[in-house]
Amino acid sequence: MVQPTPKTLKVWPELPEMKLIEDRVRNALNSNGSLLGKIMDHLMMAKGKRLRPALVVLASKSYPCDKQAVIDVAAAAELIHMASLVHDDIIDNSDIRRGLPSVNAVYGNGASVIAGDFLFARAFSLLTTHARYGVVSVMSEAISRMCEGEMDQMSNKGRLDLTEDEYFGYIEGKTASLLAACCHAGALVSKAPKQFAEAMRKFGLYVGCAFQLVDDILDITADARETGKPACNDIVQGVVTLPIIYGIKHDKEGANLRRMLSDGPIDINAVKSILYRTGALEFCYRQAHAFIERAKESLCFVADSASRSALSLVAELVVARAIKDIPGYEVPDTHHASIWHHAPTS
């Protein structure tokens, strides 16, 4: 049975650059508007894992890099992510984010839309300073893909005949595209060859797909105290995720699960029980693990160094943050996270 891992595995170890990035994010959120300033302060209280800026930094470390560009691009990546979460909470009518009241729950939908737009604007003010590296087009394309993926998910709500291919298509857009852009942009602001930059993009794409699969598992297995989001929110919202797709195809339980999801009101505990019994969560984990293996294969262009080890560890932590006690799988030893502090700084 899939179970959540200890909370310590949900927080990535810090790179030395993270303090500078955090300061850059905080400075970017300064606003002369009193209400907007309050919202930005609220967002800084609900601090996330900072995975995306960490990926920018790690992807930049194998070759000499523009250090200021790394800091600015990493901060912009986090601002883009924050903006997308603010807008997501409006769409989902969610009142919790990272264990605190969501922006829309406190300030309303109108103010939240403007706050998200403000975050996007501040992100691009950082990116345009380094436009010569191509980071503006990379991040712009990622945001376009995120919007397309979110729209696909919205249009497919309640569609119990959704295929795995359709599902993977929209998670690649809504989640994986930004992680891919972070890795790609980190390589672009270093003197990395095109082959390396493309390998980094693929690494981020595969890690992003695994990340979303793990989120789909956590939506079912974890409670709001662990995830900082409403439990079983996808099921309640009618979002069809991979565990649901797998469960519906089950020979004995599939018809019953389909009936439960179609007739309403949904008995969440009964749905969860079916997903556990059918092995849907283990299936979802295996898919996430397969993406992580593909991500690690993409690191063949990274010199065997602390950077490569750190990227590999991040990939493993993506699945380890949510899974343990799966046969044949061991949770990575987080003590090895010290390699982050010894990664080359050039």
DSSP 161-226: T--HHHHHHHHIIIIIHHHHHHHHHHHHTBT--HHHHHHHHHHHHHHHHHHHHHHHHHHHHS-HHH
pLDDT of residue 99: 76
Predicted structure pTM score:
0.88
- Assign domain 17-342 one CATH number from 3.40.50.10490, 1.10.10.60, 3.40.50.720, 1.10.600.10: 1.10.600.10
Kindly indicate the confidence band of residue 8, based on its pLDDT and cuts at 50, 70 and 90.
very low
Average pLDDT, stretch 154-162? 93
The answer on pLDDT for 215 being more than 70 is: yes
Residues paired with residue 206 on neighbouring β-strands, in sequence order: none
Alpha carbons 319 and 334: distance in angstroms, whole number: 13
Query: Considering the chain, what is the average pLDDT of its residues?
Result: 86
Q: Which residue has the higher pLDDT, 41 or 9?
A: 41
pLDDT of residue 145: 97
Question: What SS3 state is found at 324?
Answer: strand
The answer on pLDDT for 231 being more than 80 is: no
What six digits make up the tokens of 40?
Answer: 């930005």
Alpha carbons 133 and 59: distance in angstroms, whole number: 14
pLDDT of residue 132: 97
| Element housing 139 (H / E) | helix 135-155
Q: Which of 60-64, 122-126, 213-217, 262-266 has the lowest mean pLDDT?
A: 262-266
Cβ atoms of 126 and 76 within 8 Å: the answer is yes
For 327-346, what is each residue's pLDDT tens digit?
Answer: 344 444 433 333 233 222 22
Task: Name every residue whose Cβ is closer than 8 Å to that of residue 100 and which is 6 or more positions away in sequence.
Answer: 42, 45, 46, 228
